[in-house]
Every structure is written in structure tokens, then in C-alpha cells.
């Protein structure tokens, strides 16, 4: 697993926004993200799970967007009466990345093992061809970064 992970990054001041009971229709989901766009909110991670006739969407964004997010939430509540909205600020984001992420079987298992062995819970996961990003408790961020650097042999100054 050496040389697969080239960098580890983090963001400490994030908001995780949970939208529950979202109508399971692409036009409705598009409308939600149009509201964020209209408020000029830069959304980072997006996860979606379908539960029966509804969808649960979790996103992360930088806390600098809080005022704009408040406006967006008011619009969402006006547009979608059934949606439940939760903001969580106790989390941070850690990401591991490298050119070989997409071609390395078991890499996610390695990342999860590092965190699991340290009893560091993760609440949201997204992946791309080059990155695995996880939302974890803010209080565990420094430990998670240190453990991931040790496992993947990333030097402190990188």
C-alpha cells in the first residue's frame, strides 16, 4: 500500500446537512440543488440513499456558507413541506488521495481499518477515482490524520 496514497487532507470547519423525506423524483432533487446554486453555496460531498418512496441526502459544505445556508433552508422549507433538515457542526472531513486509488483493490478497506482499529466512527463517505473522503468527529481529526499518515507512509511535511 506504499505510494498509493499521495496526500491526506482535512477540513475542520464543515457543516453536514441532512435532508430527510426528500421526494424520490429527479426534478425535486434538481430543485433542491438549484436553491443551493441560487444562494451561491458551494456544496462539497454529496451522498444519497433511497428509502422506500423517499430519498435521504447528506451534503457537506464549509461553515463560511452558514448565512447563505440559512436562506437556502428557508426556501427549502417553503418549497418542500415534508423535508426534515438537520445541520451538524461537530464533524470534520478527512480525505486520502492519489493517482492509484482507482486501480488499487482493498484501499477503502485499508482506510476503514485504520479508523476502525482506533474506534474512529465515520458518518458519511464519498469516493472518486482519486479520493476517498470521510466525515468523522472533529475531536478525532488529528488522530485520524496521524494514523492514516503512518499507515500510508506519508511524511509530516507533505
Which residues on adjacent β-strands are paired with residue 4? Answer: none
Predicted TM-score (pTM) above 0.75: yes
Poorest-confidence range of 1-5, 47-51, 148-152?
Answer: 1-5
Reference 101, options 131, 144, 122, 78; nearest CA is 131
Tens of pLDDT, residue by residue over 22-64, are: 999 999 999 999 999 999 999 999 999 998 889 999 999 999 9
Amino acid at each position: 500500500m506504499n505510494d498509493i496514497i499521495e496526500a491526506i487532507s482535512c477540513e475542520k470547519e464543515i457543516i453536514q446537512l441532512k435532508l430527510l423525506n426528500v421526494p424520490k423524483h429527479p426534478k425535486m432533487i434538481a430543485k433542491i440543488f438549484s436553491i443551493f446554486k441560487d444562494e451561491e453555496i458551494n456544496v462539497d460531498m454529496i451522498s444519497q440513499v433511497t428509502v422506500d418512496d423517499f430519498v435521504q441526502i447528506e451534503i457537506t459544505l464549509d461553515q463560511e456558507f452558514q448565512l447563505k445556508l440559512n436562506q437556502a433552508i428557508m426556501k427549502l422549507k417553503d418549497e418542500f413541506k415534508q423535508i426534515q433538515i438537520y445541520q451538524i457542526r461537530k464533524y470534520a472531513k478527512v480525505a486520502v488521495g492519489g493517482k492509484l486509488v482507482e486501480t488499487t483493490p482493498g484501499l477503502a478497506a485499508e482506510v476503514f481499518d485504520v479508523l476502525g482499529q482506533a474506534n474512529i466512527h465515520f458518518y458519511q463517505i464519498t469516493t472518486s477515482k482519486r479520493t476517498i473522503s470521510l466525515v468523522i468527529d472533529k475531536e478525532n481529526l488529528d488522530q485520524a490524520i496521524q494514523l492514516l499518515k503512518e499507515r500510508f507512509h506519508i511524511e509530516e511535511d507533505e
